[in-house]
A and B are shown apart, each in its own frame.
Chain A
Amino acid sequence: MLMLEAEGKALLAGSGLPIPAGAHLVSDAAGVAGLSLTFPLAAKAQVRSGGRGKAGGVRRCDGPAEAEAAVAAILGTRFGGELPSGVLLEPWLPIAREMYLSVVVDGRAGGFVALYAPEGGVEIEAGPPPLRYEFGLPRNFRAHEFRRLLETVEADRAVRERVIALTRRLLQVAAAQDCTTVEINPLIRLQDGNLVLGDAKVVRDDAAAFRHLELEAALVSERMREVEDVRRCQDASLMLVWLEGEVGLISGGAGMTMAAMDAIAAAGGAPACFLDTSGNPTPAGFGLAFELLDRNPGVRAILVSMFGGGLHTDRVARTLVGILEARGPGAKPVVLRLQGTGSEAATEILAAAGRVNHASLEEAVAEVVARTRAPEARA
């Protein structure tokens, strides 16, 4: 789960990391009046989408009236489609330099890597790739190894030593709090030489929620913010991501669902969703899948493509026949492809209900794409 800047900074501050002093979080412009603020300050939109700086989500304010206006303006602006949940007011810092520092989990390292760039800030993507120190397990971090690497990119000895100490602390938080990313961009060197975390992007590992009560609670409220369809699927152990296309795809397994999406595109169609039913291939699971696809006006035809490994496709066929019969005439066209374990029985069950079981994914995909174009798809 990606935390908001203010949440991430609070987590890091709790472990003694240097965040800007005297910050306030407000959720409406009226809230600015009661605060004792020092100026100038930075008003920063609290959103999860990136690129907020370039989109006007960080504003300098020289007085209370300006701060109120900035808060109102930011709260009324969408950033990457997302309305800010609040505005963070922080002292405008006397910046001498901006660097980049992060501690992230990386598959290649089998664990953590530390990344450092002597020039950070909003243009980080445009610069050369940051220095990379791979160490894997947190306990394998060695200051002397990191130092040797830092010496190749960072000329300022004092900065090097402070960065090393800071990295050790970030790593301790990441390990204790199950964070997969702690990214500080910019890491700010103040005019007095001290370092302070200008921004913080903290991603916590959802899978570790069982050992962090506050993460569990945050996930529950994040789930409440999800669109209803996605939330209902999560509750039913289905994986749903809505896409833009017209072919409603019901599949099983993440890899095969993506393979079927790609096959639909290769046949000239476009998938309306990623919908993986492998977590709940039951009447309730398939019933919900059909309900959502039937209700979505963008879906013009439905493809059910399941390859039975452990799954018995004859049972799936019986479930589908029940659902299809209950939908009645005039419903969106449905194309079926059940292969693998139990598929001969599945074909018979479907045939008895007047349905065709396509023998291959490719044949079924061609058929469903054709059906999205046929006039009866609009019926």
Chain B
Amino acid sequence: MRPGRSLAACALIGAAVMAAIDEIVFHQILRWHHFVDRSTSAAGLVSDGLLHTAELLALVAGFVWYADLHRRRALSPAHARAGLLLGLGGFQLFDGLVDHKLLRLHQIRYGVDLLPYDLAWNGAGLALLATGTVLAFRARRLRDRRGRP
């Protein structure tokens, strides 16, 4: 069993999946987000491009890593679940704080009072992150109780 790697592989998948949800739901379907804001700095654009490409590669790398752990029978399902939630929530909170607020790449929605949207977005990210943390601790306790293989 490789609990650390199970968690890390699924965290990669989780972060990339949340990035894809953000891109598909908020950019393309709802069209709330702007593709890019005119006021965005060059540094903001570059970090956005790097992060976006890294998400694509993380999705592929995460799945192949997961498949490799599965093939070796080294996957710890409890840690994998915790990792997935940590990745989902971690990306959402990062996007809400760094992309929206620090780099100001785009906002969640335009022409409305942003506060409830920001609270909902970051709150949901925090909730996912907290659930993932609880699951990670539970997974570790479970493993300790069963005895390390």
A binds B: no
A residues near B, CB below 8 A?
Answer: none
